[in-house]
């Protein structure tokens, strides 16, 4: 695995590979790698000659500076994890490398970046779009892989490629869960033992809600999920919305759309976790 910190060096290395007609799969991360990230690397290896992984904790996507400072950074462990899978190039740029000067570009995502996570983390998707567009411009991969835990991010990045006029194929990969159902997330490692025991209620409640949707209407399911989770003294639901999986607009009737997803954000102590689940009613 080649470790590169510098854009020019990376561009040179990729040009070399592309001149040999090699296809490039990209996995963008903020580090603190877990099985969810590694599943993206495995997927990228199935359909590309070369796999590039980036680790960069992107400051512009954090609406809360405390969240940015707390974000886990364990680069040497990450390198060890990546050595166990096939990662050809690891790109670990500095902040100066990615933002040599202020980047004022803005992308118009309509309502997509203003609802759900966008409503509660203002500016978050603006920062995600900025950094992802920079990585796409530098690396120009054939395919880029993202986890569906950040489902809204995947929808926005697909939109971003259209706005950029790019042919990069965005591949959405399923959420990877711990044995008790908790969606894998780098932030899980910040939980205390007690918090960790309690957060499994989130995914367990979503799974039950999917079953209950056969008998209850949308509003009843929403209320049930929120009160079930809020009844746990450790957990505090920020939002739970059931939305159409393309427009991400809320639905009010199961018949309204074919593909529905329940999105949730929950606070536990000073950690905020998100999850989502498909509804089939």
Give the nearer residue to ligand PAF in terms of CB position, either 127 or 236: 127
128 binds ligand PAF (CB under 6 A): yes
| From candidates 10, 36, 53, 58, binder to ligand PAF by CB under 6 A | 58
- In this structure, the dihedral spanned by the alpha carbons of residues 192, 31, 110 and 160, taken in order and rounded to 10 degrees, is -160
Q: In whole angstroms, what is the distance from residue 274 CA to residue 124 CA?
A: 14
133 binds ligand PAF (CB under 6 A): no
Give the nearer residue to ligand PAF in terms of CB position, either 34 or 196: 34
171 binds ligand PAF (CB under 6 A): no
26 binds ligand PAF (CB under 6 A): no
Determine whether 42 is an active site residue. Answer: no
144 binds ligand PAF (CB under 6 A): no
The 186-215 site mask, x for binding ligand PAF (CB under 6 A), equals ------------------------------
132 binds ligand PAF (CB under 6 A): yes
Give the largest Cα separation in the chain, rounded.
59
| From candidates 41, 50, 131, 191, binder to ligand PAF by CB under 6 A | 131
Smallest distance, ligand PAF to C-beta of residue 220, A:
33
Give the nearer residue to ligand PAF in terms of CB position, either 130 or 235: 130
How many residues of this chain interact with ligand PAF, rule: CB under 6 A? 10
50 binds ligand PAF (CB under 6 A): no
Smallest distance, ligand PAF to C-beta of residue 99, A:
12
| From candidates 14, 30, 184, 221, binder to ligand PAF by CB under 6 A | 30
Residues of this chain that interact with ligand PAF (CB under 6 A) are 28-30, 58, 61, 128, 131-132, 150, 153
> Where in the sequence numbering do the catalytic residues fall?
37
């Amino acid at each position: 695995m080649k470790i590169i910190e510098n854009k020019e060096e990376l561009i040179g290395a990729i040009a070399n590979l592309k001149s040999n007609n090699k296809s490039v799969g990209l996995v963008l991360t903020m580090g603190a790698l877990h099985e969810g990230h590694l599943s993206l690397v495995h997927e990228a290896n199935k359909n590309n000659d070369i796999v590039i992984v980036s680790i960069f904790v992107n400051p512009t996507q954090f609406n809360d500076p405390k969240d940015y400072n707390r974000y886990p950074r364990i680069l040497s462990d990450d390198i060890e994890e990546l050595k166990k899978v096939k990662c050809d190039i690891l790109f670990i740029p500095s902040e100066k490398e990615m933002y040599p000067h202020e980047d004022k570009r803005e992308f118009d995502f309509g309502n997509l970046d203003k609802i759900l996570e966008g409503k509660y983390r203002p500016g978050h998707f603006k920062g995600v779009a900025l950094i992802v567009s920079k990585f796409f411009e530098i690396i120009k991969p054939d395919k880029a892989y993202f986890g569906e835990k950040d489902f809204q991010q995947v929808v926005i990045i697909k939109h971003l490629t259209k706005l950029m006029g790019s042919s990069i194929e965005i591949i959405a990969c399923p959420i990877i869960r711990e044995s008790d159902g908790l969606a894998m997330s780098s932030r899980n490692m910040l939980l205390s033992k007690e918090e960790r025991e309690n957060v499994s209620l989130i995914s367990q409640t979503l799974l039950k809600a999917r079953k209950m949707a056969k008998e209850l209407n949308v509003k009843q399911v929403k209320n049930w999920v929120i009160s079930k989770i809020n009844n746990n003294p450790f957990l505090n639901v920020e939002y739970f919305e059931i939305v159409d999986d393309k427009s991400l607009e809320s639905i009010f009737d199961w018949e309204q759309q074919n593909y529905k997803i329940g999105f949730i954000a929950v606070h536990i102590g000073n950690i905020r976790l998100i999850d989502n689940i498909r509804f089939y009613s």
